[in-house]
Amino acid sequence: MESLNPATGDVIDTFDEDDESAVDEKLQRATDTYDEWHRQPIEERQRLISNAADVLRENKREYAETMTAEMGKPIESAVSEVEKCAWVCDYYAEHAAEFLQDEHIGTEPDVESYVSYEPLGPVLAVMPWNFPFWQVFRFAAPNLTAGNVGLLKHASNVPGCAMAIQEVFEEAGYPDGAFTTLLVGSDKMEDVIADDRLAAVTLTGSEPAGRAVAETAGSHLKKTVLELGGSDPFVVLPDADIEDAAKTGARARCINSGQSCIAAKRFVVHDDVYDEFMDEFAAEMESLTVGDPMDEDTDIGPQAREDLMNDLHEQVEESVDAGATVELGGEPLDRDGPYYPPTVLTEIPEDSPAAREELFGPVASVFRVSDVEEAIRRANDTTYGLGASVWTQDKRRAKEVAREIEAGMVFVNELVKSDPRLPFGGVKDSGYGRELSEHGIHEFVNEKTTWVSDVSHSEGGVE
């Protein structure tokens, strides 16, 4: 398994893939570790996740450079990603005991009845390359602290990140087997998911990958959480602060070099402010610096792989051939590495890729609408339902529009973002289940009902 620098094409390192016996050994070690780990007091599990936060902060530059070298993320963004990972560890170190305490429910006078939240066992996380630390830690922090153990199958182009994350937990003092990286290809996942020792699976990735994982897990009656693709609308209404919307919109489209499921991808702009927004938005997009991801001044680095950039450009070309207009960008940059410039498309035909597919790169699709109802229809005219951003200074209208949008998250006058304090996830083809917050830590636990009576009751009952 090779680790390649997308900016230079150089081989960073090579890793031996785990063979069948190595995978079996890691699964067994995780199972054995779980037997002891889930009996540890919650205070000990909280102490260790707090230690992990310390390890992340102490080594944040090193981890950031590993990310940037392997997948091209601008270094400033990579440092912020490590800091956010430390934040999610801090969050569960502080709140996990509260979230997992027994919930007492009043039933009969002589009965103590309650719900306890108990771990399930080894949980497999299949994770993508675009936020190679954050997407792992938003799984690991709540689930390890809940008493589960984690197995990571990371994307094959970021093995260095995968090993570094395992080292974070080792340095934090976790027992061997509490968090384990499997260096394997996707073709091995069906057997791993089917293994009786595995309790559950979570995946962040593409819709086809999600369907495959859900099908295998479902056939073995294993719980899954899926966070899949997105084609998030960014709705600009007539009374929006256009300057703020345009500036934030450019950042929302191009964060992580445009490679984010929750990036703003379809800009739905009311006719009354369309021209003004377009002028400012195009200027903001054009002002972004494309360059060496290790340079602190770079806003957009290379796409993570050459084939990914080629796929993106093919979508742009097909959209233009169908009738879309290129307002900015639209061609790979003439330099070494898979660099794609900030691109803006308008006059987009209904059935073109820019309207129907997720464009995973710095390409914005802009649509003009005549009223709020059309804006809502356009926002919902997608198979995806991850996030949405709405821009208006009318709070009442904002709440009304937010309720009508089919998405797992709606942010008003802000870009869509993940936050440890809030549940994260989507609907429709963007998946199901939630990560983060109290909701996230409850996904992979047994919500066990317990009834303790002072006296015996001989009466029968029905389900």
Structural domain contains residue 460: no
Q: Is residue 104 part of a domain?
A: yes
| In a shared domain, residues 439 and 395 | no
The answer as to whether 422 is a domain residue is no
pLDDT value of residue 71: 98
Please check whether residues 153 and 265 belong to one and the same domain: no
Same domain, 270 and 200: no
Q: What is the pLDDT of residue 333?
A: 97
Residue 182: closest CA among 165, 200, 196: 165
What pLDDT is stored for residue 342 in this prediction?
98
283 and 171 assigned to the same domain: no
Q: Active-site residues: which are they?
A: 227, 261
Do 192 and 267 lie in one domain? The reply is no
Does one domain contain both 348 and 366?
yes
Residues 446 and 320 in one domain: no
- CATH code where residue 24 lies: 3.40.605.10
Whichever domain contains 241, its CATH number is 3.40.309.10
Same structural domain for residues 139 and 88? yes
Q: Are 31 and 84 in the same domain?
A: yes
Per-residue pLDDT tens over the stretch 222-251: 999 999 999 999 999 999 999 999 999 999
Inside any domain, residue 343: yes
Q: What is the pLDDT of residue 21?
A: 97
Residues 382 and 441 in one domain: no
Q: How many beta carbons lie within 10 A of that of residue 104, not counting itself?
A: 11
Any domain includes 45:
yes
Residue 463: inside a domain: no
What is the tally of structural domains in the chain?
Answer: 2
Domain span including residue 444: 2-228+430-450
Residue 384 lies in a domain: yes
Give the pLDDT of residue 462. 59
Same domain, yes or no, for 400 and 260?
yes
pLDDT of residue 455: 73
Below-50 pLDDT ranges, the chain: none
Query: Is there a domain that residue 456 lies in?
Result: no
Are residue 213 and residue 309 in the same domain, yes or no?
Answer: no
| CA-CA-CA-CA dihedral for 214, 217, 220, 223, to nearest 10 | -100
